[in-house]
Structures are given as structure tokens and as C-alpha cells.
Amino acid sequence: MILPILLAAVSIGAQRPTMLIYQETVVEFTDADPNVLVSRKLGVNLEQNGKVAPIVWSSDDPAITAAIAAGKLPGLPTTAKRSDVLDIARTLDASYVAFLELKRTGAELVGKIDVLRSRGGRSLWKNETKVSIIKNGRLDPENGAQSVANTWAIQLNSNPFKDLPSKPIFETPEPTKPDVAPPTTVAIDRTPLASGVKALNEGRLVAAVALLHDAVDVEPMSVEARMAYIDALRQSGHPFLAADEAARAAQLMPLEGAFLVEAAQSWIEGGKSDRAYEIIAAAIVANPENAAAHSLLGDLFVGRLELERAIESYTKSYEVKQDPETLYKRAQAHAIAEQFENSVADIERANSTGLSREPERAEKRYRETVKVVDPVIDSLAANLRNLLREAADPAQATALRSRGSAFLKRVEAFLSYMDRIDAPESHARSHTRRELALGLLHQAAQGLVKHLAGNNPDSLGDAELLQIEAMREFAVAKQQFQAEIGS
């Protein structure tokens, strides 16, 4: 059984195509309603981009009120079959009808969209999609619905609506003025690159993708337009589309090695490391002095925990271009390999040679650093627990002394590395908690060494308590970090 939720897009100007958006609600005999409203979000996205004129069908919508006042609609129907929806669309002179469905299934949203011409009912475009609704460890169907709406808006703009202008040119009539004269001409954006970059900088991603797509059509050989379009696709959560676009650009402009690097970066973000490796290798063959490609290769090796190869790649990159970001990444690779002295040397040099303090860049860098730091803390804690367990046997004390001392030096070296990490203001609280947890681990390691030296009979018990408290603080730090990301 299908219960419809009616939404509409009413054309204000004769030159503008309009779309009726109709969300179908599937009735399932479950305790919770599985349906998630997406039609309003899609309408907002399309209205911002301006390729169609969507208006949510509700009794308080000004455009619907104006249509009723003008006698175009006798009233607002609450239910309708598909054939009725098409009739309503023709009554409103809407060019298109979009039938939507979005429901929650477990930890995913499953969505369908079918776009038809209102006259004749011929299907123009269909899509089915699934998105996860897990965000920061919690279920967030609203955020998932927004992601679905963003995706559909981008796909609509680049498929059935690709030839329509992007700039919004209409205004919503006042309910008391249903006869507001619409514009008689369509103002096509003649500067899509500048407008697209502006939209991207303002976070209007759907509009940015559409405008920059137009910019690429206008100037196919423009490096700036291509790079901006790739960036917009990536920021919109479409790494594979970004990778495909970068690969096309590389074929058109083989002398521009940056496109291969962009393609590889997009494949890495999408989790396709094998495809990324092929592209990076091709970029390095084309230009052995491509510093960005060597740095990306280092990122790839870090993800595979091939740390020596990662360090080698970062070194090659830095030899070509003395970028402090590369030193910072090499410091992280050294830290994962527990080569903390080398890590400290790299991070000190990075800090002294102009490592960016720009807030957005610093925040992104720190979040990547946490991915390195947290597993190291977990590893050190596990090693300490094993040493404490073995140290409880008096017969093991002599054999453990050298291992205990070596472990203490590792913790101290890692502490030195942590001291040189500048946390951005947005993550200051969680970073302080992490440092506290590591400090407690350090005290526990000192207690272990004292116990093994026979200098303090109570130090082993104190070390065990300190280790437990360190893990509590570490758990709080991680929770705080996730809260900071979500805020």
C-alpha cells in the first residue's frame, strides 16, 4: 500500500521548467515508521541551484496559496495516485514529475527516484541509492537524508537538467498577490567559473558542482575550472566522480601531472587504494620529480603499514620540494614505527620551517594525527599490561629489567613527540586529556622500572592502578574528540 506525500514545483516564469516532487510513503507493519522525508531537502537543493523551481506542496506554502487564490488549484489534495500526480503536474504547467521514496533499513537509508515528463509520463532518469546513517557512533537519519538529497540534486543537474541555466531568476509570489508578473527572460550565468568558485567557498556544494560543470563545458582546457570542479565533487562526497573527472582531464592535458595526483587522491578517499596506486605509479613514471605523487604514495604505504616504504616516499617528496607538511607526515610514519627520535626531529623541523597554522588546515591535520596517535597509545598500553603481568612473577624480575627500561624510553620519546603537536583550539580539551592519559602511562612505566630494580615493593601495585586510570582518561579523551568533531 502506498500513501503519497505531495510536493510540487510551480513555475513562476514561463521560461523556467518546473517540477512536481512527490514522495511515496511505503506502509510497513512495524513499530516504527521506516520512512524518512527527503522531498523538502531535495527541493531546497534544486531551488538554490536554480535549474528548476521546486516548491513544497503544503497548505502554508506561499506559491501553493497563490496558485489556489488564482484558481489554478481547487484545493490541496492529501492523497493521489501516480496518474493523479501527473494530472496535477499538467494543471500547474509543470514540465517534470519526480517520484521519490526513502526509507530506513537498519543502519542505512534506501532511496529511489524516478523523474518523468508530465506530458506522456515518459521516464527520463531513475536512480537507487543507499547511504549509511551512522555518524560519530550514532544513528543520524536526518543527515543521511540530506546526503541523499545532495546526491540526487547533483545527478539531476548533470543529467536531465544539465542544459538548464544554474542561476536562480525567480521570486516566490506573495499569497495576497497571486498575479505577480513573472520574468519574461532567463538570465544565464555568463561567468560560471567565478560563480562556481564563490559557491564552493560559501559551502553551497550543489550549486558549485552545477556551475563548475558548466565552467568546464565552456572552457574544457581550463586547468583552473577542471581543478575547481574536481574539488567540488570531492567536497560533495563523490570521490569516485572526482577521480573519473580527474582522469578525463589527465587524458585531455597529459602535461598537467596534477590531474593524475588529484585522481589518485580521490581514489584514496574513496577507499580504492589499488586503483590509486596504479595512477600514482603512472604519475611518477611521467615525472619522477613529482613531489605530490611521492607524498601521496607515502600516504598509501602508511595506510598499508608499509612504514619504511612510506618514509622513503616522503623523503623523495621532500628532496624535490621542501614542504613542511611532508615532514609532518614523515614524522607520523616514524611515530607509528615507534622511531620517536626521528619523529621528534621531523616535527621540530616542520614547525620551524613554516608549517601552516591556518585554522581549517590545522584542524584537518590534527584529525589525521589522531588516527596515528591513538593506535600508538593503545599499543603502548597493551605492552605495559603484558609487562605488568609478567612482573608479578618474582622469577621474571631480572629478565624483565632491560625490557622495562627500553619500554620506559619508548614512552618518554613518544611523550616528546606529543609535546610538539599543536592542537587547534577546537580540539584543545581532548588533546589535554590525551596528554594526561599518556602522562599516567609514563608514571606507570616508571613504577614498573622501580619495581624491577627492587627499590620499591609497592610500586608494582601503584603502576597497575596508574595504568587503569590512564585507560580511563584515554577513553574520555576519545569521547571528547568525537564530541568536538560533531559540534
For residue 225, what is the enclosing H or E element? helix 223-235
Side-chain-facing half-sphere of 470: CA atoms under 13 Å: 24
Q: Where are the beta strands (DSSP E) in 340-472?
A: none
Of 253 and 355, which is predicted with more confidence? 355
Average pLDDT of the residues in 311-315: 95
- The pLDDT score that the predictor gives to residue 15 is 58
Cα–Cα distances (Å) from 169 to 13, 52, 114, 155, 208, in that order, read 9, 10, 26, 21, 17
**Residue 39 corresponds to which cell in the numbers above?**
522531498
Q: Is the pLDDT of residue 112 over 90?
A: yes
Residues in the chain: 487
Q: Is 50 helix (H, G, I), strand (E, B) or coil?
A: coil
Minimal CA–CA distance to 454: which of 394, 386, 376?
A: 394
Residue with cell 489556489: 68
Q: In this structure, what is the dihedral angle of CA atoms 458, 464, 469, 475, given to the nearest 10 degrees?
A: 170
β pairing state of 96-105 and 108-117:
antiparallel
How many percent of the chain have pLDDT more than 90? 23
Rounded Cα distance, 427 and 432, in Å: 9
Residues near 372 by beta carbon (within 8 Å), at least 6 away in sequence: 332, 335, 336
Of 477 and 80, which is predicted with more confidence? 477
Poorest-confidence range of 145-149, 245-249, 377-381? 245-249
- The pLDDT score that the predictor gives to residue 455 is 62
- The pLDDT score that the predictor gives to residue 487 is 57
At position 142, the amino acid (one-letter code) is E
Q: Is the pLDDT of residue 65 over 90?
A: no
- The pLDDT score that the predictor gives to residue 175 is 52
Minimal CA–CA distance to 334: which of 423, 413, 435?
A: 413
| Of 53-67, 276-290, 307-321, 332-346, highest mean pLDDT | 307-321
Q: Is the pLDDT of residue 253 over 80?
A: no
State phi, psi for 217 to the nearest 5 degrees.
Answer: -65, -40
**Residue 214 corresponds to which cell in the numbers above?**
558548466
Q: Is the pLDDT of residue 392 over 80?
A: yes
Q: Is the pLDDT of residue 29 over 80?
A: no
Q: How far apart are the first and last CA of the chain?
A: 40
Minimal CA–CA distance to 433: which of 469, 468, 480?
A: 480
Poorest-confidence range of 32-41, 75-84, 191-200? 75-84
DSSP H stretches of helix in 253-272 = 258-269
**What's the pLDDT band for 184 if we cut at 50, 70, 90?**
very low
For residue 256, what is the enclosing H or E element? none
Q: Is 81 helix (H, G, I), strand (E, B) or coil?
A: coil
Work out the mean pLDDT of the chain and round it to a whole number. Answer: 81
Q: Is the pLDDT of residue 431 over 90?
A: yes
Q: Where are the beta strands (DSSP E) in 13-107?
A: 19-26, 96-105
**What's the pLDDT band for 176 if we cut at 50, 70, 90?**
low
Poorest-confidence range of 77-91, 167-181, 330-344? 167-181
Poorest-confidence range of 166-175, 280-289, 291-300, 456-465? 166-175
Average pLDDT of the residues in 401-428: 89
Rounded Cα distance, 401 and 453, in Å: 7
Q: Is 420 helix (H, G, I), strand (E, B) or coil?
A: coil
Q: Could you tell me if 257 and 283 are in contact, meaning their C-beta atoms sit under 8 angstroms apart?
A: yes
Minimal CA–CA distance to 249: which of 284, 216, 218, 205?
A: 216
| Of 39-48, 271-280, 330-339, 466-475, highest mean pLDDT | 466-475
**Residue 221 corresponds to which cell in the numbers above?**
582546457
Minimal CA–CA distance to 441: which of 393, 487, 373?
A: 373
